[in-house]
Amino acid sequence: MPAIKFRGVDFIQFDALLTEEERLVRDTTRQFIEDNLIPIIEECNRAGRFPRELVKPMADLGFFGASLKGYGCAGMGNVEYGLMTQELERGDSGVRSFVSVQSGLVMFPIYAFGSEEQKQTWLPAMQKGEKLGCFGLTEPGFGSNPGGMRTRARKVGNEYVLNGEKMWITSGSIADVAVIWAKVENENDKIRGFLVEKDRKGFTSDDVHGKWSLRASVTSGLSMQDVHIPEANLLPKTDGLKSPLMCLNQARYGIAWGAIGAAMSCYDCALQYSILRKQWRDQPIASHQLVQDKLTWMISEITKAQLLVLQVGRLKDAGKVEHQHISMAKRNNVWMALECARLSRDILGANGVADDYPIMRHMMNLESVKTYEGTHDVHSLIIGQSVTGIDAF
Ligand SMILES: Cc1cc2nc3c(=O)[nH]c(=O)nc-3n(C[C@H](O)[C@H](O)[C@H](O)COP(=O)(O)OP(=O)(O)OC[C@H]3O[C@@H](n4cnc5c(N)ncnc54)[C@H](O)[C@@H]3O)c2cc1C
């Protein structure tokens, strides 16, 4: 079977809804992924290796903190940012996760809740990829309900002392700085964010091994035992659980676009394969109605997902987006992408399980994407709460 090369997916002239700048960001990112990630991603995925060599080139293209203004950041609009994450995830969800964490979960909280000194110290260096970050919210005992966290910070003199465990932390062991969320004992257990540099005494990280998903992304556990940090490391404007949730909103928005990229990769591969692959009377499998039904489902759902997230992006640009809008986009688009991966895998038959094609890798990655940043079902509850006014958590 000849090599299958991505050709782009646009059924209803979606491109006409984009500005020239938005298309330029999309096309530049697409070309970068085609030239730099596609040739190495299957090897990275097999080896469980994060392609760290791409950090500098991605920084040079302005991918980190792309929607922030100042501090060397690109100041992209929200649709430009979304199209960038779409193309990154068309390459691999793990690489998109790295960019989302660096941007939406580390640079964003420093930007939104940090002091000017913290911003000057970290944002330009993180934009250039010279410093990497991670976001520590989840704990071994608390995932969907982060408000139950056990990690504690105690103010002692002009320092804070941190104790606790964080789990499933993207980029945990490669990060120079961790944004750690902890309950502050001296403030009635209010949740606040802290910047913890990796070389602080008592701070350790251990990678999760044996992961069958996001294998090109580092995932770690973090442990803090009497970690002393100066009070200047508190993110001063953090104020309760709503602060980390604001960060998650940023990242979830990027995921909603990213999932479309994974779906496009699977769909386009399955479409091309179905035209090339012949079974029965020397006819392509694309000539069978049942195969066409699968392709029709995929292109319809991809198209609807594009329109949904474009509207959410436009609302975000206008300052009118609500968290339940982002929940709907994340929940729908990741589910849609996972279904596309499963249908595409099916169309490739046995070839679908091999890493000569990207589909199985996308499928495995999307299982994590469905779970992190609020599980599919947690987003059902957020939307349910929004339409009924009743909290069902
Ligand atoms: C690869 C990977 C990378 C990650 N990166 C990060 C990171 O960088 N930083 C970070 O802080 N976290 C990270 N996470 C953690 C992720 O956010 C959590 O896994 C997620 O929030 C779910 O928590 P949990 O795994 O503890 O599942 P649980 O909360 O135990 O949920 C298990 C199941 O129960 C369901 N459930 C839970 N509560 C309810 C309810 N009220 N009603 C109905 N169903 C419910 C869930 O939907 C799910 O199906 C990562 C996870 C993965 C897999």
222-271 pLDDT tens trace:
999 999 999 999 999 999 999 999 999 999 999 999 999 999 999 999 99
* CB of 368 shorter than 6 A to ligand 1: yes
Q: What SS3 class is residue 139?
A: strand
pTM above 0.85, yes or no: yes
What are the two backbone dihedrals, phi and then psi, of residue 232, each rounded to the nearest 5 degrees? -65, -10
Which amino acid residue places its CA nearest to atom 38 of ligand 1? 144
Our CA dihedral for 361, 366, 368, 370, rounded to 10 degrees, sits at -170
The pLDDT tens digits for 317-355 are: 999 999 999 999 999 999 999 999 999 999 999 999 999
Asked whether the CA dihedral 40, 248, 381, 138 is positive or negative, the reply is: positive
- Average pLDDT value over all residues in the chain: 97
Q: Ligand 1 center to residue 373 CA distance, Å?
A: 7
pLDDT classification of 1: cutoffs 50, 70, 90: low
Average pLDDT over residues 94-114: 98
Half-sphere exposure of 117 (CA within 13 A, CB side): 7
Position in ligand 1 atom list of the atom nearest CA 368 = 53
Query: What is the pLDDT at residue 164?
Result: 98
Amino acid 4: pLDDT: 85
Question: In the predicted model, is pLDDT for residue 2 greater than 60?
Answer: no
Per-residue model confidence as pLDDT tens digits over 27-64: 999 999 999 999 999 999 999 999 999 999 999 999 99
Which whole-number Å values give the CA distances from 220 to 166, 191, 196, 369, in the listed order? 8, 22, 15, 16
Atom 27 of ligand 1 has which residue's CA nearest to it? 143
Q: How far apart are CA 231 and CA 163, in angstroms?
A: 15
Strands 133-136 and 177-184 come out as: parallel
Point out the ligand 1 atom lying closest to the alpha carbon of residue 376.
47
